[in-house]
Structures are given as C-alpha cells and as structure tokens.
Structure 1
Amino acid sequence: MWEWRNIYRGMIMGASDVVPGVSGGTIAVVLGIYDRLIAAINGIFSREWKKHLKFLVPLGLGIGISIVLLARLIEWLFEHYPGPTKFFFLGLIIGVIPYLVYKGDVKNQFKGKHYLLLLIGAALVASMVFFQTSEGEQMQNFTFSTYILLFFSGWIASSAMILPGISGSFILLIIGVYSTVVGGISDFRFDIIAVVGLGILFGIIVMSKIVKFFLDNYTSGTFAVIIGLVIGSVFVIFPGVPESGTMMIVSIVTFLSGLLAAWLLGRVEYK
C-alpha cells in the first residue's frame, strides 16, 4: 500500500531542508520515521524494493513540492525576519531531544564512551558557527567546472542532510553555493535542479548505507553521536538575543511555537 501520508511528512522535511542550520534528518526523527527512512533507502536495492518505493516516493514528492513552493517564502522570512524564524526552528530542534534520549535509552544503555561520543558530535556541529558563511551574488556564468562544483556540493550537502543535526543548506552556505541553488529552484532553472539533484541522490544513497551499518552494529554509539549532532545544531542556528523588546516577544512566541510543533508532531506520529 502506498503511504500517501508521507507527502505531508515530506513537505515538513522539505521546508526544513531549505533552512540553513536545520536538518531534514532532525525532522525525520521528530516525525518518527528516521529508522524507516534509512532502511527504505537501503531497501531500494533489495528484493523488497517495491515496498520501500511505496514509502519513499510519497516522501520524495512531498519534499519536492515543499522545496519548490516554500523556497521563496523561506528566503523572504530569512531576509525580513531572520531572528524569529530561527527561533521557531530552534524550538523544533530542542523539542526532539527528549524523544532521542528516550529512543536511545540513554539511562540504561549509555556508558562513559557514549557520553564522550555525544560531546564530540555536539562539538563537531557547534564548531560550524566559526565557518565563514557569507557569500556573494548568485552564479551567472555556468561552465562545466561550475556544474561539477554544484554536483559535488549536492553530494556533500545530502550526506549531511541525512544526519540529524547537520544542515545540508548550511553546508551549501559554507561552500558558497546556497544562493545559487535556492535561486535556481525559485527560478525553475532545470540545469541547476538536475545537477544538484543528482548529487543529492548519490549522497543520500551512500550516507544512508553508512548510517544503517552503524545503527545495526553500534546502536547506542550511533544514537550518542546523533544526539550530540542535534545538540550542536542548537548553537549553529541560535541567532543571538533580540535587540528590541518587541522582537524579543515575537521570538519567544515563535520559539514556543516550535516546541509545540515538535510536541504535536510527536503525539500524532507516536500515538
């Protein structure tokens, strides 16, 4: 049976993937489908590929629809209201941490080495705040080497995207092609969409195999790293203390809205 419910899940993941600092993998955890997502991507190459395709196609359709429809909106929100927008996603990210702690059975399974892995994961992502993320205008002149750069940018970004806590969009920002990719999607530039899309496809396939191996063989250690990555992303997306009282109130409201959204999604998905 086709899991058409995944269209709405994909739309939420797609919206988050456009935001620098927010990981689609984190949203997959919020929605309770992260394990199935990894298994389904790997299952495409198995005898049960039809079953996994019925899970992935609606999800991919939702992600695509969301990215195309929301790319301009996200750009506008980040241009005019970057602080409150980031506080909403900050609440969403923090809201998923209790579930990760429960899912990883931290109280019973974690030992000293797991907490060390957690700290390493958090430090790895948090250190991204020191990277230069300012970039110039969108690329105008496209050559073969430009398309190669876009392909590998999509590959690297999607490898990060599949991991909770690491933002594929933030990776694109660090590389310096974020505005080009988002602009290409907004303007329906087929060449950009196709090249970056192929890179993303290959990156997701490769990284999902790596994640599945570690989830199957080192479950607690993998969850320790994942929890650390999510905690570290809080430092990346935190926009700083709002300067005005009005913006402080708005940011608090959006932050609480993000927490509420994580809680509501959790209740719907884990009911």
Structure 2
Amino acid sequence: MEWKNIYRGFLMGISDLIPGVSGGTIAFLLGIYDRLLISISGFFSREWKKHIGFLLPLGIGIGLTLLLFSKVIKFLLENYEQPTQFFFLGLILGVIPFISKQAGVKKNFKFGHFILLIVVAVLLASTVFIKPADSTIITQLTFQNALGLFFAGWAGSMAMLLPGVSGSFVLLLLGVYATAINALATINLPIIIVIGAGVIVGFIASSKIIHYLLANFTHGMFAIIIGLIIGSVFVIYPGIPESGTPFVMSIIAVIMGLIVANMFSAIDTTSD
C-alpha cells in the first residue's frame, strides 16, 4: 500500500470541494497524473490487484477530506471567499511552469499547438459568463432528481480528471453543487451514494479516454491541458479585493499558493 497517497488524496479532495479548482491539476502538481489514469482504468480489469495499493490510500484521503472538510470549505467560502480563492489561484499559477516543463513546450510545441492552447483557454474562461442552473438544495430523492444527480456526478467526475476543469464548477453550472456540499456536510447517504455512483462511472469512462489520448496525441493533449489550466485562472479569479485587511490577506494567500505549488512539484518529481 502506498500510504503517502493519503496526503495526496487529502490535497485532491480539498481542491475538488472548490468550484474552479481541479483535482486533476493537483494530481499533475503531485506528479501522479499519468499513474492515476492508468490505475483507475486498470482497476476495472483483470489486473486490478496491481492498482489497488495505489488507489485505495488515495481514495481514503479523498473520501475523508470530502466528509471532514466540506463544512470547513463551506465556512471559508462564506466568510473568507477571496483569500481562499486567491490561495488556489496561486496554486494553479504555480503549476503552469511545472506542466510546461513536463510537456517540453519549447521543444515540442508547434504553431498549431499554441493555437489549440489559446482556443481551449478562451473557451473555458468564457464559462464565467454562463449563469449557473437553479441551485435548490435536494434532500429527498425521487426517480427524476436521482437520475439528474447521477448524471451530474458523472459529468463532474469527468471534469475532475481533466487538469484545469473543476468538477465542483461543473456541479455549480448544473445547479447541483449546493446539494452535494449539503449532503456531505449532513451525511445524507442516499444523495451521496447517487452522486458517488455517477462519479465512479464517469471516472471509469473518462480515465480510459484521457489515457488513450495522452498516449497517442501527447503534445496536442498537453496543449489542451495547459489551455484548460490557464482558462481556469479566469474562472476562479474572484475580482480585485477590497483595500485593507482583505487585500493583504489575498496577497498573502496567492503567495502561499505559489510556494505550496513549487514545494510539492519539487518534492514529488524527485520522489517518484
């Protein structure tokens, strides 16, 4: 068992609670993105035993974080929204040089790759103008809303695996984010199970697709991934903070995010 994956899962779980922050970005930052895709797709094959030692501790870390920190994240976003968003903004900005180095942008990218990168970044950034769907909190299941929650979980999980695309942001756009956070905070098991089932199905399908594309269209996929991460900066940007304490807190938060990004990328690229 790779028990250090618990802390990695902890970081991915926290990021997945924040609209605009991608668990895939954190996986890339931690140097485990490729292995995550391989392990998820491989777990549902005859060679599942090979991957359980990697996935189980990661899943424990993510699961515990979602259950234990949903109330904390809800509190931070309600009371310290800008500093919290600026911390993750720093984290996202900090990962761009790391991924660019991994992709070998200077050596491998041609003109078409840069165009693809820009188009993807613009498309994701433009989602800030999309009005989220009705976010009425669902506490009781019916067949109709259960189906909707299942497919929302599916869509959210596919986004979670793409660096730069936030599963929480997708849930927010679909009007399900408030329901998901409330279900986690109140341990509403039926709601958690339905959304979780959609998440699992989405992971299985998307991990195979993304892994295939990365293996066969590496440079193009890296262009898309970097574009998604750059675009997510505009999605998560909370606006210019007020002068005084909020401004100072936000500046400190973005610097801390940059430091954490560089610290973890340095640690994990040398340890794996």
**TM-score grouping bracket, smaller chain normalisation:** over 0.9
The code of the aligned residue for 1:215 comes to L
Q: CA deviation at 1:139?
A: 2.0
Is it true that 1:253 corresponds to 2:252 in the alignment? yes
Query: What is the Cα deviation at residue 231 of structure 1?
Result: 0.3
Offset from partner CA, 1:175-206 (integer Å, 9 cap, x none):
10111111001111110110000000000111
TM-score (norm 1): 0.97
Provide the residue aligned with 1:175 in structure 2. Answer: 174
> How far 1:66 moved relative to its partner?
0.5
- Alignment check: 8 A CA contact 2:90 2:255 kept: yes
The 1:235–1:57 alpha-carbon spacing in structure 2 relative to 1, beyond 3 Å, is same
Once residues 130 and 139 of structure 2 are traced to their aligned partners in structure 1, the CA distance between those partners, rounded to angstroms, is: 25
Q: Which amino acid aligns with 2:8?
A: R
Under a length normalisation based on structure 2, what TM-score does the superposition of the two structures give? 0.97
Aligned to 1:213: 212
* Superposed displacement of residue 136, structure 1: 4.1
- The one-letter code of the counterpart of 2:88 is F
Match of 2:4 in 1: 5
Paired residue type of 1:27:
I
Q: Give 2:22's aligned residue.
A: 23
Where 1:12 maps in the other structure, the secondary structure is: helix
Read off the aligned partner of 1:118 and give its amino acid letter.
L
Structure 1 segment 136-215 matched on structure 2, within 5 A:
136-215=135-214
Which residue number corresponds to residue 120 of structure 1?
A: 119
Q: 1:119 to 1:63 in 2, by over 3 A?
A: same
- Aligned to 2:12, the other structure's residue is in SS state helix
Aligned to 1:43: 42
Conserved 8 A contact 1:135-1:173:
no
CA-CA distance at 1:49 after TM superposition: 1.8
- Provide, for residues 49-99 of structure 1, a one-character-per-residue CA deviation record: whole Å limited to 9, x for no partner: 212111111101100001101100000000001000000000000000001
Partner Cα distance (1:213, 1:249) in 2: 44
* Residues 245/135 of structure 1: CA separation in 2 closer, same or farther (3 Å cut): farther
Deviations 1:128-187 (A, max 9, x none): 101113744412443110111100000001011110000000111111011111100111
In terms of mean alpha carbon deviation, does 30-39 or 239-248 score higher? 239-248
Rounded to whole Å, the distance in 1 between the matches of 2:56 and 2:129 is 37
| Cα-Cα RMSD | 1.1
**Partner Cα separation in structure 2 for residue 54 and residue 106 of structure 1:** 33
Contact 2:14–2:69 (CA<8 Å) still a contact in 1?
yes
Identity across the alignment (%): 51
User: 1:134 and 1:215 mapped to 2: Cα distance?
Assistant: 32
Following TM superposition, by how much is the alpha carbon of 1:48 offset from its aligned partner in structure 2, in angstroms?
Answer: 2.9
In terms of mean alpha carbon deviation, does 128-137 or 174-183 score higher?
128-137
Q: How does 1:234-253 map to 2 (within 5 A)?
A: 234-253=233-252
Q: CA deviation at 1:120?
A: 1.8
Q: Distance in 2 between matches of 1:151 and 1:171?
A: 13
In 2, the alpha carbon distance for the partners of 1:54 and 1:157 equals 25
CA distance in 1, matches of 2:41, 2:136: 37
* CA distance in structure 2 between the aligned counterparts of 1:60 and 1:168, rounded to whole angstroms: 16
